[in-house]
Chains A and B, each alone.
Chain A
Amino acid sequence: MKILKIFCILLIFFLFFQNHSLANSPQQVDKISKNLRCLICQGQSVYDSQSDFALSMKTLIKKKIDEGKNDDEIYDFLISKYGEWIVYEPKFNKNTFFLWLLPILVFLGGGWLIFKKTKFFKL
């Protein structure tokens, strides 16, 4: 048991040592455009689409990055123009409260049930 504990600690330790290298601009464009819905194509992301709309969108994202905007500012800008529908990852707010929390409640509820229905070690 002790060994396992030590490894858990080591694991967390490693986690903190992972540095988040700042992605350079083309990669960042890819990352952002993968999270955007191409509004005029059927269910494609902006990243995957070759439509004019998507291509212009990518150019715009690049411009915003060069202006020094960060990811969230770019998402917010696009949401203000096109509505929440454009982002694939909905923001956590009153509308999406249940979306994010329900699955976790299911997990916790189920976990509690299992805990209740099993008994501890044989004494």
Chain B
Amino acid sequence: MINQLGNYSLYIALLISIFIISKASLSLRKLSITLSGNIFSLISVQSIMVIISFLTLIYAFVTSDFSNETVYNNSHTTKPLFYKISGTWGNHEGSLLLWLLVLTIFLFIFTVESKNLSQRYRTLTLFFQQIIIFGFLLFILFTSNPFSNLFPIPNEGTGLNPILQDPALAIHPPILYLGYVGTSIIFSSALAAIISGSINKSWASHIKKWVLVSWVFLSIGILLGSIWAYYELGWGGFWFWDPVENVSLMPWICLTALLHTIFTLEKRDIFHSWAVILSITTFSLSMSGTFLVRSGILNSIHIFANDPSRGVFILCFLFILIFLSILIYFFYQKTIKENLTKPYLISKETAVLLNNLFMMFFLSVVLIGTVYPIFLEVINNEKISIGPPFYHKLLIPFLIPFLFFMAIGPNIKWINGKIGKINFTQVSIFIISIIVSYFFVKKYGVSYLLSLPLFILSIFLFFITIKDFFGKKVNISQKISHFGFSLLILSILLNGVLSKEFSSNMKVGDERKFLNKTIKFESIKVIKEQNYQSLIGEFNIKDENNSLSLKPELRIYDQPQTITSEADISSTIFSDNFLVFNVLKNDGFYNVRYQIKPFMIWIWISVILISFGGLISLKKKNV
């Protein structure tokens, strides 16, 4: 019956939401902007209600209360405690409740931390944020209620999709949602600021914190998802350009553009409208992400519980918000006091614009690549697939100039409109990069058309970002993030070019030669675990100097029945040894895949560096 507690607290939260929206719209109409203190206490009550309902759901999962339909569909008594808890958000209903939870908590934090800002701006932000909360509450209560009862009460649940029973994936959704939902605050506050005519430097320095927070969480969320795909999906890749992955990348790209714009707005008081447009777009993209993933409209490797009929609701809600923001933008556009002085072609302002241009291009490639198949099928009834080769073909040629501008951009001064004398260090670094890449490409016989310029520029950027650390100590956070990014590009490139793969069908006792190594399939053993059976293969990989033992695993889950394969990965700072095996139907034979993946660990480290830069920037008062 504790179930009902969660349900009722959601209804209370809904009532509060309605109350706040009507109250706020009344007080806004009268333009008497003195919001009584009780609205702020109402917001805390609302957050507490949502927290209670979320805890109730966790409690239902932990105690395996199968009278709750969500628990019945997604849990099982034999599941370890950790996955019972993470099972709470590993399903459609729970994940929406998590969205809502983060929404209300963020709004609460916002009201607390914005105390000394104008009342009108705060009230308006609160108003828009409440509309979003209201929509989500309606959605949860009437289409995907996590607290529906089952009668008679089943004895056993149907289990959580085993592929989701993984530590990285357990914390991936909460972190990603912190990023997604952070963009809702940016959205509401941008709309509030445009109505109250306060898109200016001080707005920028206030909202900058929220942009950074969302951006950092989104980066880490994407990283976790990617790490998970690397060792769990078992193909040794870390990014598949799968629609679900793209959906999380799109707001990230947009936020990155916004981040640069907001910094510039804060410093130089320009790009007002553009910052608003980006704020609106970022949140729309986060919402579309939820729509695309949750409605099941996409064809993806990451199949979750989904239901097209719910899609209609999110779709309508999403478009209502988009229309609302378009109308507000056009109606109040004149309140934006755009700084009309044009920046010079060669200035940091233009460099930021160029960054934005490239970001918008990358965004449009990913967006169009993701939704185009849906559009084409509806309009023309033709089915096409868009996969990695499409993205590579469009992105890589543009990545080259992007890297170049990223290397020189941060070193250009604000305002300054002349080409300074050619920077000697930059040119010499460029020459060195050409030489290094030329010999590298020669040595490893890389033969893609654009590989040489790509190498030259990523090495160039890498050196420049290192060199920049020794320059003036102004913007350490930017330096760390940019260095992280250059490291990311370089490691992805090296990883792509130098990876080696071996695949063969082997049985126990077999030996195969690969490069200078011998791969031996030594033994296989069966272990019974709490909720699955595990087949552990033991492999030995030997070369002249050392030998390495790898133990990949096949897990046979019974609730629900699924086989997942867990790769065994041994990481060193230079390269990963990745081994995975699979059952074949010929008796005794296993398909064995062994991969050497250089610099894998640096891909993860560089993303951590990128986010770390953001964190530092958050701590600093005025950068």
Contact = CB atoms under 8 A, between A and B. Distances in A.
Contacts of B427: 3-4
Interface string B5-39: 00000000000000000000000000000000000
Interface residues of A, number: 50
Contacts of A87: 385
B422 A1 contact: yes
A7 interface: yes
Contact of B449 (A4, A7, A15, A121): A15
A95 B344 contact: no
B22 to A, nearest CB: 41
B579 to A, nearest CB: 15
Nearest to B342: A119
A95 B582 contact: no
B345 interface: yes
B456 A121 contact: no
Given A10-B434, A14-B438, A15-B453, A96 B360 contact: no
Given A18-B452, A84-B382, A42 B389 contact: no
B235 interface: yes
B312 interface: no
Interface string A25-40: 0000010001101000
B498 to A, nearest CB: 15
B447 interface: yes
Contact of A118 (B345, B364, B418): B345
Contact of A89 (B349, B387, B451): B387
Contacts of A50: 582, 584, 591
A11 B456 contact: yes
Given A43-B299, A87-B385, A95-B384, A11 B453 contact: yes
Contact of B345 (A89, A107, A120): A120
Nearest to B298: A43
B453 A37 contact: no
B476 interface: no
A121 B447 CA distance: 41
Contacts of A117: 342-343, 353
B242 A14 contact: no
Interface string B422-465: 10000100110010001001000101010111001000000000
Nearest to B366: A103
Contacts of B501: 30
Interface in A47-69: 48, 50, 52
A42 B353 contact: no
A42 B303 contact: yes
B383 A85 contact: yes
Contacts of B584: 50
Nearest to B368: A102
B242 A43 contact: yes
Given A107-B361, A120-B345, A85 B384 contact: yes
Contacts of B393: 89
A52 B345 CA distance: 58
Contacts of B345: 118-121
B430 A7 contact: yes
Contacts of B361: 103, 106-107, 110
A69 to B, nearest CB: 19
Contacts of A88: 385-390
B175 interface: no
Contacts of A77: none
Interface residues of B, number: 63
Contacts of B235: 44, 48
Contact of B376 (A15, A48, A95, A102): A95
Contacts of A52: 585
B380 A95 contact: yes
Interface string B373-402: 000100010111111111001100010000
B418 A122 contact: yes
Nearest to A99: B372
B492 interface: no
Contact of B385 (A85, A98, A110, A111): A85
A111 B384 CA distance: 30
B422 A3 contact: yes
A110 B585 CA distance: 55
A14 to B, nearest CB: 6
Nearest to A10: B434
Contacts of B350: 114, 118
Nearest to B395: A103
Contacts of A45: 387
B346 interface: yes
A102 to B, nearest CB: 5
Interface string B217-237: 000000000000000000101
Contact of A18 (B356, B357, B441, B585): B441
B527 interface: no
Nearest to B388: A88
Contacts of A98: 368, 372
B4 interface: no
A31 to B, nearest CB: 10
Interface in B582-611: 582, 584-585, 591
A106 to B, nearest CB: 4
A117 B343 CA distance: 7
Interface string A91-103: 0000110111011
B419 interface: yes
Given A50-B584, A88-B386, A88-B389, A103 B453 contact: no
19 contacts: A15-B449, A15-B452, A15-B453, A84-B384, A88-B387, A88-B388, A90-B384, A90-B386, A95-B382, A99-B386, A104-B394, A106-B360, A106-B361, A110-B360, A110-B361, A111-B357, A118-B353, A121-B345, A122-B418
Closest A-B pairs by Cβ, 10 of them? A88-B387, A89-B389, A43-B301, A122-B417, A48-B235, A106-B364, A107-B361, A85-B383, A103-B365, A103-B364
Given A95-B376, A103-B368, A107-B357, 11 more contacts: A15-B449, A18-B449, A43-B240, A44-B235, A50-B591, A89-B393, A90-B390, A99-B368, A117-B353, A120-B344, A121-B418
